[in-house]
Structure formats: C-alpha cells, structure tokens
Amino acid sequence: MSEQPPPFGSPEWAQTMNNAFAQSAMGWAFRRDIERLRAALWQLLAEQLREISAAAALLSSTVDEVLEADAQGSKGRAAA
C-alpha cells in the first residue's frame, strides 16, 4: 500500500518540498554543480540551511575519521 502525498499547500506538503530541496542540494554539491546547488539552497529557510550545514560538517568529520582509520590500517570499514 502506498502512502498518499500530503495535500497541496499544507504544512506537511511544505515540509516535503523543503526536504526535496535539501536532498537536491546535497546531490548538486556531490556533482559540484554550484549554480544548481545555490538555486536549491535559496529555496530553503534559514533553519533548514543551518541543519544542512550541521549535517555537512558531521559528514565531513566522519569521513575524515574513516579515512584516518583506513590510512592506519583499521579493519573497521565494511568490504565493498
């Protein structure tokens, strides 16, 4: 059974759209498409921009930890 989308214009609909913009921003950043990244970010509220910034910082620091552990020969990474 599939879930029905929230009604157009409802707070739930707005949150769904904001989540989509946030996800697309991460995708554009990954692809290094700065123009589309900025366009997606401009669609978000300041609070959402702060959340994305915090998530990006967490991602960056965690990647650094994994890379450091990998460089030291840690076996903590899952086999690809």
| Model pTM score | 0.66
Domain ranges of the chain: 11-71
Residue 51 has pLDDT above 60, yes or no: yes
Average pLDDT, rounded, for the chain: 86
**pLDDT in the model for residue 68:** 92
Element (H, E) at 68: helix 46-71
Structure letter (DSSP) for residue 11: H
How many CB atoms neighbour CB 30 within 10 A? 9
